[in-house]
Structure 1
Amino acid sequence: MAGLLTVLAVSQVRAVALGLIIGCLLCFTNLYFGLQTGWISMMSLQSALIGYLLSKLLPKPISAQENVVLQTTAVATGTMPLAAGFVGILPALGLLDEERDGVPPVHLSWIAAVGWSCAVAFFGVFLSPPLRKQVIIEEQLAFPSGTATGQLISVLHQLPPPETTVRPRRGYNALASSEDDEAIAYIAEPQETDVLRIPEAKVPEQEGWSALSWSFAASGIMTLGAYFFPVIFSIPLFGTYLASQWLWTFTPSLSYVGQGIIMGFPTTLSMNLGMLVGWGVLSPLAKHARWAPGPVGDMTTGSRGWILWVSLAIMCSDSVVSLVPVVYELVYAKLWKGAADLGGDGLAGKDSREDETEDRLVPTTWVIWGLCGSIVSGTLLVWLVFGHDGIKPWATFIGFIMGGLLSVLGVRALGETDLNPVSGLGKISQLFFAWIQPGNIIANIIAGGVAEAGAQQAGDLMQDLKTGHLIHASPRAQFYGQLIGSCLSIVVTTTAYSLYQSAYEIPGPSFPAPTAYVWLGLARLLRDGELPEKSAEFMIVFAVIFSVIAAFKTWAARSGSPHAKWVPSGVAFAIGFLNTPSFSLARLVGGVVEHMYYTRVGRENGGIRLIIIASGFVLGEGVVSVVSLVLLPYHTLYVDRAKVPSTRCRPQV
């Protein structure tokens, strides 16, 4: 890392430093919410905002190009909980049952978790430069969230609006929607929206600090209050019976409200529709029909575990159908039609649209050596961490190659639609490895995690590189920021996960890690082919329904229909099944606030202000949650003394 810093200019060093500070806060926040709900935010737009405000404390504020490097570093640091599987893969391995799966639970030590993170942390980073040349420079795909961040940075730094350099293409008019259809962590990072309608009015510096400070403080204070008085975050809905037996409670968390604001009203509406169907219809049906006789909240025998399978069917069908037009365009336009044009004035005669000089680009030799090194070292590290019985080295190698191929699909889908279906891509990898290494449930989960990590990182970095392309920031400086952020985040994420794991049961009541059950459930299904009673019929029905809905939504979005955002998102709908009603309802409040605010006030008269407030809400609870880890031993001692008579009050007999 020291070598990289010496290459960077002094001005870029401070941008990276600020990015690391913001990224560490995002890392704790994303891990906290990821383990609770499976939802992780990319937060690139919020990082640019907060970085701009923090830079005002410096003798010389950062420039727009430095802000690009700052938010790139922050994103690389803050999204490691998903890239390294801390919110899904590692908890899933801890759920293994020796009697059922033939292998004991896998709990990684701190050093083993660092080794696993190093194995998957850099492949996507080295994959991003060649993908940038193809999808950003040559094809000029939209990458709506990256474009939104670029436009926001131009507003903050009082620059002329950047040239989006997006060639006319189907569906681009739809990019002005305020929806992130797949604003769910394990499916895709929530992509900050309003690409073509970034507000032109600046928020005054003092007002921005005020909004961020009070929203952060309010969320933090509420989190501390809920820590000492848990009933605050568990308000019964419709009476105590439905709350205790059917899990209908409400969590008035300001951070959940902030997440709802960021996700947008259409996405939160889809999530709550899924919540009503899953918890209001299917859960009682499975319980009363004795298909799921256990307690409602039990993930094995209860109705929560039963509706999990329906949720999995919805997510897979939605992701696969959404990928169809991307695969078609890739095969037809780039391979078939491109090969036909080789003899004429087609690809052979096309000049590159690259406008950066060689000294600002990432050299090809770095990319080749980096990709080869990350694959070889990653394969070796996975073998050292999980052993030969976990996954064969040759299988890990194939996992990296497959992850690279799937990353191309994910990046193209992200560039076209702002949706990165990384979960669906991970499931494709699981299906493939169920064939080439059957019966090995650990190998199945790890292979899916390797593929998901590559696709997720490549997609995130492509959004950042799109921002840099619009603001004319150095791609090489962004590359350094990505590497430095990933290096630091390995240690930060592993340490934070170890702290949470030592203080709480994961998965458990406080951190249910719902995506872990999705990973493990599919791996078991592919191995055994056994499903809970009657779940197969409902899986088929809902898969067919949402295949049709996804096809219609994809067609509407690509044809430029402004109403496409109101077609239910299958992924968001499925998330309503995975999480209890308390998680979805509070986010709906945020979605409603976002919709009403922009309807009444308008995006031009306060859009940035609302983003700042939402960011403060999200960061407040995530950061203060770390304080609860320190307070936990004292709180436990206090509770134990309150429940057990003190031994000092009377002599022992």
Structure 2
Amino acid sequence: MERSPSRPSSEVETMADHKEEQREDNMKGEEAFRNTTVFPWRKQITVRSIVTSFVLNIVFNFIVCKLNLTTGVIPSLNVAAGLLGFAMVKSYTALLIKCGLLKQPFTRQENTVIQTCVVASSGIAFSSGTASYILGMSPYIAAQSDGGNTPINTKTLSLGWMFGFLFSVSFAGLFSIVPLRKIMILKYKLTYPSGTATAHLINSFHTPKGAKLAKKQVAVLFKSFCFSFVFAFFQWFFAAGDDCGFVSFPTFGLQAYKQKFYFDFSSTYVGVGMICPYMVNISLLIGAVVSWGIMWPLIETKKGIWYAANLSNSSLHGLQGYKVFISIAMILGDGLYHVVYMLIHTGISLVKQYSKNKDSSSVNPSNAVENSDNSQIVDYDEQRRTEYFLKDQIPTWVAAAGYVVLAIISIISVSHIFPQLKWYHIMVAYVIAPLLAFCNSYGCGLTDWSLASSYGKIAILIFSGWVGLGNGGVIAGLASCGVMMSIVSTASDLMQDFKTGYLTLASPRSMFFSQVFGTAMGCLMSPLVFWFFYKAYTLGDPQGSYPAPYGPMYRGISLLGVEGASSLPRHCLNLAIIFFCAAIAINILREVLEQMKTKHKIHRFIPSPMCMAIPFYLGGYFTIDMCIGSFILFVLEKRNKQKARDYVPAIASGLICGESLWGVPAAVLALAGVNAPICMKFVSSSVNDKVDAFLNGGL
């Protein structure tokens, strides 16, 4: 009897797997992971997760350090951290599966641990202040200003005290906010947009459809990484001296080049521009046009009238003073507005939450029964997430004791590292910091804004004025900024991670310890990476490759605190007040238009004063790069919006990683004294004629 043809068993299995994948993709929330094992918190922190985190920490520290030393504009790297963590572990677990050596599958909780550890480390790379308040203490930055350049107001940089300072101030913030995690996440149900988005990303990676997309994203990221790295290597051959190479290409003409308007072929900032919102890049461009296109050329005509004509280009009593202090005024105005706004917003929200909880206690039970059918799926997600979130408690007494012990250690060590900052100054900072950490964490949960740098700048003004110039107020203000920023920044970062862990069923203990590991890695890696650049290049030179704009700016804020308006050049105070008020007015205008809810959402087109202020000091060259990134994003979105949403973060991350990592071999070559073989330089035709005449005459 002839048998009817049947499908091969492998094909039947493939079809069954496909149906199972479709069924899982159609599930929502925790339903898709109903049959997935959630390991205890000790098994969520694995050796492979720590090793993977350490490797990625090195990469991300180089990226953040380079961005800090060039323009200070740092995009969110959460997506890149989650994607690269998934790709790395998946690659070698696939190999272990083939060899039959895999003991524990790769879970979304472990993915969350890696992402948390990496972001914590890169967060320390920012809050450590190696390119801002710590660099501002150096004699080189102090020499650029005529005020406060005394031994007691400078500190020679060294790895020893930087390690000690970071390890003593970076952990207390973690303990300051732990007791409030249940209130923030479960009671107030704060959104924490970045934490929520990261959780959804990680959850999607661990579904069949998400895993396939992640593999495609990794392939795209690798291609853009290779292009960026190779192109940066190619550019190096033409940069044998100052103002040589593609970075000095006068794209819009030599006159525009003198006013800092040119495209410098930086893949890093094209990638950053693709990640940043359109309005951020447009704000940067507006700031560049207002400052370098209008203001600085006009003020330069007043040389010899408003300021002495024989001052160096870096003197804060000349044109450089207008650039620094007007940008500081805008940054302070924007920061002050957001601090006040966040405090008011937090207060109103807390009052509403209190009223809501009070009213809910008197609700008729029949209403809850009536709505139960509509919220069954949501209830399942919440019940499952709440169960795991409350499973591994971190006792409040442990958090309180940890904060007190770390504060005492910090008071002793910081006052020893910085004798200008007395023990009672640091104690006051640690008394105030938990309140500010709560405000920052709560506001971050509502709006995704972290105002750590704003609180740090306020601390500079308060403590530098308190100590005084003669007693080392400049150093005291900068050091107090580090104490305040570290506490406030790590607290909001941890709460973001708690939200991510809540949505991925990662244990709060695994989140806390991964944050501790990441913070420790950051305290170790951040100074080392900074020192690598510090020894290879001249950091803080306004005309150099690494101008480190926030170094002079933070020192300028500290000088403002100890000297007041006397340190400013003529009419600079008036202009600073105007731009300080303008920054507040622009923010108020945007808020009013947003509340009006106009038809065309006009508030979206109001520029950001903080972003406008950055090119005031640096110029418009990097804004051109970022606007090109926005243009590429715009074109891709017009062609296919969904594909752009899926692949643009991967493309941008590859561009950022590739060129940033070329900085490592470039720095090694610079330390070894190896120079590029070619100098490609651009001059006007008249200068070219003179050069030709000189060369012909010499021959």
Q: Within 2, Cα distance between the matches of 1:567 and 1:313?
A: 19
- State the 1:39 CA deviation: 2.4
Q: How many residues align?
A: 586
1:280 and 2:293 are equivalent in the alignment: yes
Contact 1:145/1:418 (8 A) holds in 2: yes
Farther-moved stretch of structure 1 (230-239 vs 610-619): 230-239
Aligned twin of 1:546: 583
Q: Which residue of 2 aligns with 1:38?
A: 72
For the pair 1:620 / 2:669, whether they are aligned, the reply is: no
Counterpart of 2:327, as a letter, is S
Q: Distance in 2 between matches of 1:422 and 1:510?
A: 27
CA spacing shift, 1:251–1:142, aligned 2, 3 Å = same
- Separation in structure 2 between the aligned mates of residue 35 and residue 462 of structure 1, nearest angstrom: 28
Per-residue CA deviation, residues 277-306 of structure 1 (Å, 9 max, x unaligned), is 111111111111224657896352553441
Match of 1:149 in 2: 198
Q: CA deviation digits over 1:177-197, x for unaligned, max 9?
A: xxxxxxxxxxxxxxxxxxxxx
**Partner residue in 2 for 1:239:** 253
Which residue in the other structure is 1:429 paired with?
A: 459
Instruction: Give 1:453 shift.
Output: 1.9
Aligned partner of 1:454 in structure 2 is: 487
Counterpart CA distance in 2 for 1:560 and 1:214 is: 42
C-alpha contact (below 8 Å) 1:30/1:40 kept by paired residues:
yes
1:81-112 deviation per Cα after TM superposition (whole angstroms, max 9, x unaligned): 22211120111001235973163231232111
> What is the correspondence of 1:99-498 to structure 2 with a 5 Å cutoff?
100-101=147-148, 103-104=150-151, 105-158=154-207, 204=213, 206-230=215-239, 231-243=245-257, 245-290=258-303, 291=306, 293=309, 298=314, 300-332=316-348, 334=350, 355-356=387-388, 358-386=390-418, 388=419, 390-439=420-469, 440-498=473-531
Matched ranges for 1:19-98 at <5 A: 19-59=53-93, 62-94=106-138, 95-97=141-143
Q: Structure 2: how far apart are the matches of 1:637 and 1:19?
A: 34
Give yes or no for contact 1:116–1:385 (8 Å, CA) kept in 2.
Answer: yes
What's the CA shift string for 1:343-391, capped at 9, x where partnerless? 9969xxxxx99544655232223312221122111222212222x2x21
Identify which range, 473-482 or 411-420, moves more after superposition: 411-420
> Taking structure 1 as reference, are residues 206 and 118 closer, same or farther at Cα in structure 2, changes over 3 Å only?
closer
Shift in Å, 1:569: 1.1
Alignment partner of 1:56: what SS?
helix
The one-letter amino acid paired with 2:452 is V
Which one is further off, 462-471 or 562-571? 562-571
Q: Which runs of 5+ in 1 are unaligned?
A: 1-5, 160-199, 347-351, 641-653
Q: Compared with structure 1, are the counterparts of its residues 359 and 406 closer, same or farther at alpha carbon in structure 2 (3 Å cutoff)?
A: same
Amino acid at match of 1:380: I
Taking the aligned partners of 1:415 and 1:592, their CA distance within structure 2 comes to 31
Give the match for residue 6 of structure 2. none
Task: Give the conservation status (yes or no) of the 8 Å contact 2:389–2:506.
Answer: no
Letter in 2 for 1:141: L
Distance 2:574 2:320 in 1: 17
For residues 575 and 203 of structure 1, what CA distance do their matches in structure 2 show? 40
CA distance in 2 between partners of 1:286 and 1:318 (Å): 24
- The yes-or-no answer on 1:528 pairing with 2:558 is no
Contact 2:273 2:625 in 1 (8 A): yes
Aligned to 1:13: 47
Contact preservation (8 Å) 1:258, 1:615: yes
C-alpha distance in 2 between matches for 1:129 and 1:419 = 20
Question: What amino acid is aligned across from residue 276 of structure 2 in structure 1?
Answer: M
RMSD across aligned positions (CA) = 3.0
Closer, same or farther in 2 for the Cα pair 1:539/1:206, shift >3 Å? Answer: same
Give 1:172's aligned residue. none
Gapped regions of structure 2 (runs ≥ 5) = 1-39, 95-104, 240-244, 363-381, 679-699
Distance 1:85 1:597 in 2: 36
Following the alignment from structure 2 to structure 1, what is the Cα–Cα distance between the partners of residues 315 and 496?
36
Q: Which has the larger radius of gyration?
A: 2
CA contact (8 A) 1:27 1:79 kept: no
The TM-score, its normalising length taken from structure 2, stands at 0.78
Aligned equivalents of 2:128, 2:438: Cα separation in 1: 19
User: Which has the higher mean CA deviation after the structures are superposed, 583-592 or 611-620?
Assistant: 583-592
| CA deviations over 1:627-646 (Å, ceiling 9, x no partner) | 11211134446779xxxxxx
Q: Which residue of 2 aligns with 1:586?
A: 625
Give distance in 1, aligned partners of 2:513 and 2:581: 45
CA distance 1:211–1:297, shift in 2 (3 Å):
farther
Change (3 A) 1:99 1:576: closer
- Structure 1 479/277 Cα, relative in aligned 2: closer, same or farther at 3 Å? same
Task: Quote how far apart the aligned CAs of 1:555 are.
Answer: 4.4
Match of residue 643 from structure 2? 605
**Partner Cα distance (1:156, 1:357) in 2:** 21
Q: Deviations over 1:263-283 (max 9, x none)?
A: 121111111111111111111
CA offset digits 1:136-156 (Å, max 9, x no partner): 222112211111111212222
- Please report how far the alpha carbon of residue 548 of structure 1 lies from its aligned counterpart in structure 2 after TM superposition: 1.8
Question: Against the structure 1 CA distance between its residues 137 and 371, is the aligned structure 2 distance closer, same or farther, given a 3 Å change threshold?
Answer: same
Contact 1:82–1:453 under 8 Å retained in 2: no
Instruction: Report the CA distance between 1:437 and its aligned residue.
Output: 2.5
Distance 1:146 1:554, change over 3 A: farther
Deviation, 1:456, is 1.8
SS in 2 for 1:236: coil
Q: Distance in 1 between matches of 2:593 and 2:165?
A: 41
**Equivalent residues of 2:169, 2:486 under 8 A apart:** yes
Q: Is the 8 A contact 1:42 1:75 kept in 2?
A: no
Could you tell me which amino acid in structure 2 is paired with residue 430 of structure 1? I
Q: Does the Cα contact within 8 Å between 1:265 and 1:595 map onto a contact in 2?
A: no
Aligned to 1:101, the other structure's residue is in SS state coil
> Does the 8 Å contact 2:337/2:584 carry over to 1?
yes
SS of residue in 2 equivalent to 1:391: coil
Moved more, 403-412 or 32-41: 403-412
* C-alpha distance after superposition, 1:444-489 (max 9, x if no partner): 1111221122222222222222211122211110111111111122
Q: Is the contact between residue 146 and residue 464 of structure 1 (CA under 8 Å) also seen in structure 2?
A: yes
Corresponding residue for residue 604 of structure 2: 565
1:423 and 1:546 mapped to 2: Cα distance? 17
Q: 141-150 or 459-468, which moves further after superposition?
A: 459-468
What is the CA–CA distance in structure 2 between the aligned matches of 1:133 and 1:578, rounded to whole Å? 43
* Structure 1 residue 251 displacement after superposition: 1.1
State the alpha-carbon separation in 1 of the partners of residues 232 and 520 from structure 2: 30
Cα 1:639–1:610 change in 2 (3 A) is: closer
Counterpart code for 1:151:
H
Distance 1:303 1:234, change over 3 A: same
Distance 1:463 1:564, change over 3 A: farther
- Residue in 1 aligned with 2:18? none
CA distance in 2, matches of 1:91, 1:506: 8
Q: CA deviation at 1:42?
A: 4.2
TM-score in terms of structure 1 length? 0.83
Q: Which amino acid in 1 is paired with 2:620? A: P
Of 605-614 and 67-76, deviating more is 605-614
